[in-house]
Amino acid sequence: MVPRGAVGGVLLAILATQLLSSKATTITGVGMIRYMEGAPAEVRHPPPLRRRPPPTRGRQQPPPGSGGAVLDTVTTPPQLQLVCPQITDNVTGYPMDDPYCDVPRVVLAQGEAAEQMRNENGLSSGDITDVTLDVSANGSFTVTSLKTVKLGSQKGGCKCIYSGTPADDRVVMYLLDFSSCQGYGMAAPAALTPEVAWRLLSQDGSSAPGSSFKAYQETCSYGRRLLNPDNVVVVGPVPVPCTGALAHFRPRADLVGISPAAANALRMNSTHTGWWDLSRSCTPAEMSAVERAAEAFAQQIVAKDPNTADGRKLQAILQWRERRRNIYVLPPGSSCAHSWPAIAESLCTSATCGVFVDSSTLLPNAAAPRPPHILMHEMLHVLGLTHAGRGLKEAGDPTDIMGTFGGAGRGLLCPNAPNMYRIGWAKHINEPGVAPFQMTATGAWGNLTAANFTTNNWIKGLVIPAQGTRDDNMIVVNVGAQSTQYGADTATGAQAYYFSYRIKNTTAGGYDSGLTTDFHKKVVVHAFNGIQSERVFGFKPSLLDWGPNFQSKSEAVFQNDDGTLRDVTADTWTSPFLAVTNGLGGGVRLVVQSTSDTQAVVDICRITENGKELSCDDGIDNDCDGLQDNEDPDCQ
């Protein structure tokens, strides 16, 4: 890094070099991928345009390329970023950027384009890739080649799926100080004291249930994801230089003559790279600058005080190289804080996993959503969970912290059934009589396919426990699949449906204590075709309906034991119908028979004839209207 006192001269040299250049270029190198996803926000306004004070003697000059409209380089998450690979310093044992890195720190794609590029290439945060960028003279660039060199920067990948042993995370929360950006209207330090930050992270919950991230995570995961206070530290305030630049490890002859616009887009020319301006921009260059300053500051604390308990604790956490969580708390008014409430590395496999948070969302008196919700949402992104949708709303599911969680108040809102399954925190129901929380019981009994409906279309009296009472708490039905075996025949267009039961917990800090009353004592229906894998992309859970009193009505009757009929339309949900081919497909009908404070009892039917019973002598209720063969008016 260029010494701070020399920054002004360096940036003038960069500017002079650019004024003499005009060509486009091709950049090829090895970099690390970061797929960034953020928390939902109703409105995030960009900061007002700030005039720079006139330069004075000795004042740092801004790097070229960071001017122009405020936040003109900030994008709406998700972002697919290219940054420098991480290595481990052989002397200190600390992770660091590869000093021989020769790629720019840029956003390769954003929004739907980022998601598509991630899915098509099977990329996780921390993957090492060989990338080629064609950069035009006007500053636009195209990714012409992206080849994975190494899956994950750390052995074992993300280790995001529970496999039988609780994970104990390491967390460093950095409280950032941008006071070097004088005159731009942002609060200098993050508006969060170390004491409040510590309570927010690791308070045990006994004095203020549900008020800490530790309590939130351990409750929703049934203790499968831990946060030991011995593995948590708060560092700050951390002074971060407002502007700066890095020198290449050797001059880049291939960049001599690069156009100013191209250099600005890449933050790179023949002599320097990664220049940043925290007062105006929020690109991977700024994020990387924050990370370097924070890590260096923490390492200096250890160097000054290596033999005390606090010094040894901090050193041990800093040397932990398996997906350490770094939370960077941004000062209010900073460019990044104006862009999103928070953003994090999704499905992180690198030594450090960055989470950037606007400090105004973490204050004790912050408006809804409350502080722990933001942290829980972002930390679940780190574990690989995507947003939980509803219809066309990307994060519109109010039954999941990965969806819309503004109504959760001071309670806890745990993930929905598909997301709980995705990271191994919950599974399908076991056979009746199996005790809860049994690792040897796989839950396969409640994972239903076409093979479960060969002799009778109805399976009646299935019990779905309330999600917070035990870990086997969902039924999954996919009548388009032949079986649950890997590689089993599956009909084109087949859809898996997840049925779970949610209860609003009245105990402060209890599981689902933040669930809104709309979903209290409701069987909830989700669609999700993903599997329990860290390397299968492109699937997101979507909330479809909830009942009794489902939003979408399905006309149905039910035959009582005495032979009489009753209308169960309000208690019935029916899926779209998939044409039956080679014995696979059809539809799914769910009838809620009863609900209580601990469980729901449901009947599930596979529809093989849509809308009308055509087979009137097979002894099967083919249209799942509760009447079979000659009992059905369709056959009379």
Q: Where are the beta strands (DSSP E) in 41-195?
A: 79-83, 86-88, 95-97, 106-110, 128-135, 141-150, 167-168, 171-177
pLDDT value of position 209: 62
Dist CA 162 CA 420 (whole Å): 10
Compute the average pLDDT of residues 322-351.
90
Catalytic positions are 378
Q: What are phi and psi of 9, to 5 degrees?
A: -65, -40
Half-sphere exposure of residue 162: CA atoms within 13 angstroms, side-chain side = 25
Region of residue 274 (left: phi > 0; alpha: psi -120 to 50; beta: else): left
pLDDT surpassing 60 at residue 2: no
555 sits in which H/E element: none
Q: What does the pLDDT look like over 109-132, one tens digit per residue?
A: 999 999 999 999 999 999 999 999
- What is the overall mean pLDDT for the chain? 86
Three-state DSSP class for residue 203: coil
Q: pLDDT tier at 626 (50, 70, 90 boundaries)?
A: confident
Region of residue 121 (left: phi > 0; alpha: psi -120 to 50; beta: else): alpha
Residues in the chain: 636
Q: What does the pLDDT look like over 67-126, one tens digit per residue?
A: 333 323 233 579 999 999 999 999 999 999 999 999 999 999 999 999 999 999 999 999
pTM, rounded to two decimals: 0.88
pLDDT surpassing 90 at residue 60: no
Q: How far is CA 513 from CA 370, 399, 469, in A?
A: 13, 11, 13
Q: pLDDT tier at 535 (50, 70, 90 boundaries)?
A: confident
Q: How far is CA 143 from CA 108, 115, 131, 288, in A?
A: 7, 15, 7, 21
Region of residue 220 (left: phi > 0; alpha: psi -120 to 50; beta: else): alpha
Three-state DSSP class for residue 443: coil
CA 353, 359, 363, 369 torsion: positive or negative? negative
